[in-house]
Structure 1
């Protein structure tokens, strides 16, 4: 059993996340970007009210979730809670950390008054099963064609 707690990330924690060789991008072969671009995007999210919650134990970060808000421009034109990233370091997977981070993220966004939470997940990402187990449902499908 792994003992850890979940708390909001401080600047040192964020630097670890940005500099970690283990990160979401390394596992998303379909993502047409690089780590520098993703860091800039995440910095933009943080500068606009986003925040990380981290799972930490034995003075080590085991995983994180990046939360913030987004706008539904297509349908309701309302601000919604958004999960931009959920990541658990490979050696700590299958231990419940992802579930607890997701629950903490949902609770945090709910406390901030959001009525809906959305996220994006790639089709072959195993976390998709966790999201469905936690009550998320598919809302739309993004398709592409390489030419």
Structure 2
């Protein structure tokens, strides 16, 4: 992405790899694995706790690394059952972009997984709206 980009459509955006492990454990650390067991809860709880601390600092306007997404208009979509992207990634990205003055349209698809695009027609309408394009 460059400063000349007009719009971005992001499905399951990963923008904060530095805190991704903590975010995953915060969301899914207690979930059962396919074999019925759980991950090491000592490690999971430590990572989850660290992410809670990170979020508390981020909400107090402590500077966080800026996203590489620089478009003035952004559409962010994520499934609520996404097992690859922490839901907080999308909300943190949206908050950061809004704080930068960008137009952000964020939606979560209920009960959908990673990369969900449950309403591609809505995305096309959004593109037409932000671009002023009329067929």
TM-score, normalized by length of structure 2? 0.26
Higher share of residues assigned helix: 2
